[in-house]
Amino acid sequence: METIEDLKRKITSTEDLKSVVRTMKALAAVKIRQFEKAVEALKDYHRTIEMGLQAVLRNRADITIGARAGSKNLVGAVVFGSDQGMCGQINDQIVSHAMTEMNQLPDVEKENRFVVAVGQRVYTRMQEEGQKVEAYVQVPGSVTGIIPKVHSLLSHIDSWQRERNVEQIFLYYNRQVSASRYEPCTVHLLPVDKQWLERIGKRKWPGKSLPLFTMDWDPLFSALIRQYLFVSLHRAFAESLASENASRLTSMQGAEKNISEQLDSLLSRFHQQRQMAITGELLDIVAGFEVLGGDN
C-alpha cells in the first residue's frame, strides 16, 4: 500500500514533468511562428527569382536549360525529418511517403537511389526500410541555422551530378496545411521543369518599364537557377521544421492532459490517505480517553 511519503514523491515528480512539458509546448509554439514567418518571407524571395527569370526569358523563342546530361535511371533524394522525438508520427509518415514515391519511379532500382537523410530519426527509419542512406544532415535548431545546411545539400547535389551522373533530384518533406495539420509532399527539384520556365517567359511584365540586363545570358540564367534551388531547399527545411514543431505541440498538449489527469489522481489518493491517517489518529485519541475514563 502506498504511504503518504510515497505519494508526495510521486506528486513532486509529476509536477516537475508537467513543468517540463509546458516549457516544451511553449518552445514549440514559438518555433512554429518563427518557421512560418520564414516560409512567408521565402514566398516573396521566390517571386523575386521568378521575376528575374521572366526578365531573362522574355521574348526568348527557345529555352535551353544548361543542365548536365544525366541518367534517368539514377535518382538523388533528400528526405526531411527530425533529430528529436516527441513529435508524433511525422518521421514514420514521411519515410513511408518517400519509399512509396521512390518505389513507383520507373526503371529505378533501389541500389540506384542516392539518399540524404535530414534528421537522425529519418536516417534510422530509412535503413529499417532497407534503403541505404549515404549521408546524414543534422536538423537546424533555428531559422539562422538553415542556410549552412542548404549549402551542405547543394554540395551533395553537385556531387551526385558531377560524379555519378544523376539527373533526377527529389525532395520529400512535410508541410503544414493548417495550424495543427501537416501532410507529406514531393518536390521534383531537378531537372527544372521546362514548361514552367516557358510559362514564366510568356507572362506579361508587371509595369511599363521593361527590364534590361547587361551581363551574358548564360551565367545570369545559371545564377537564377542556382537561387531557385537555394530557395526550394530553404523552404523545404522551414516547412519541415514548422510541421515538426506543430506535431510536437500537439503531442505536448496530449501529454499535458494525461499528466494533469495523473496528478489529479495522485492528489486525490494523497488527500484520502492523509484523511485516513488523521481519522486513525483521532480514533486512537478517543480510544485513549475511553480507556482513561474506564480506569477512573
- Is residue 112 in some structural domain? yes
Alpha carbon distance, N-terminus to C-terminus of the chain? 39
Decide if 86 contacts 56 (C-beta within 8 A). no
110, part of any domain:
yes
Separation between Cα atoms, residue 33 and residue 245, nearest integer Å: 10
Spatial separation of the C-alpha atoms in residues 118 and 141, rounded to whole Å: 12
- Residue 138: strand, helix, or coil: coil
Upper half-sphere CA count for residue 145 (Cβ side, 13 Å): 9
Number of domains the chain is built from: 1
Query: What is the CATH number for 78?
Result: 3.40.1380.10
Task: For residue 126, tell me if it sits in a domain.
Answer: yes
Which residue in 248, 237, 124 sits closest to 175, CA to CA?
237
CB atoms within 10 A of CB 266: 19
**Which of 208, 200, 191, 222 is CA-nearest to residue 55?**
200
β-pairing, 71-80 vs 113-118, is parallel
Domain region containing 144? 71-248
Residue 95 lies in a domain: yes
pTM here is 0.83
Mean pLDDT of residues grouped by 10 in the chain (296 residues)?
A: 80 87 86 90 92 87 57 89 88 96 90 94 94 94 94 95 93 86 93 90 84 88 94 96 90 85 86 79 72 63
Q: Could you tell me if residue 171 is inside a domain?
A: yes
Residues 134 and 100: beta-carbon distance below 8 Å: no
In a domain, 18, yes or no: no
User: Does 15 reside within a domain?
Assistant: no
> What integer pLDDT is reported at residue 63 of this predicted model?
65
Residue 284 maps to a domain? no
> b/e string for 26-55 if b means 16 or more Cβ within 10 A?
eebeebbeebbebbeebeeebeebbebbbb
> Per the structure block, which three cell numbers stand in for 254?
496530449
